[in-house]
Amino acid sequence: MDGQHHFTKLLILQTRVRLHHLGVRIIVAELREEFWILRARQVIKQVLHSCLPCRMAKGLPRGEIEAPLPTDRVTPLRPFAVTGIDYAGPLFVKVGNALNKSYIALFTCATTRAVHLELCLDKSTD
């Protein structure tokens, strides 16, 4: 068979789909069981180069685009000028024989990423 014939290219495409888009060597081996194609490797490489699923599978991964940082994180400020606050808990603290509920106030600095923890006896603002 001539490698440049349209029927040969269709046969290669059909074999490629049937073999789930495997490599050139496997397609050559599969086709040579029934057919002898002139310049088979060259023609298969040409056909595979035009195969969209194969090109997508071999493509390089694109780099992720990161979102810009907030201005509070980029501009130099003194520590804890911009903070985030959260509560953790409840924790049970044993005082004598009684169990008291307490919470942890978590303060995070947006510029230095430092953390400050405080023990709170209740959820009041004091």
pLDDT digits (tens, 9 = 90+) for 69-109: 877 777 888 888 888 888 888 888 888 888 888 899 899 98
DSSP conformation letters of 28-96: HHHHTTT---TTHHHHHHHHHHT-HHHHHHHSPPPPPPPPPPPHHHHS---TTSSEEEEEEEEEEEEET
Does the residue 17 lie in any domain?
yes
How many domains does one find in the chain?
A: 2
Does the residue 126 lie in any domain?
no
User: Containing domain of residue 106, as a range?
Assistant: 71-120
Does the residue 63 lie in any domain?
no
pTM above threshold 0.75: no
Does the residue 50 lie in any domain?
yes
Check whether residue 43 and residue 83 sit in a common domain: no
Check whether residue 77 and residue 107 sit in a common domain: yes
Check whether residue 54 and residue 76 sit in a common domain: no
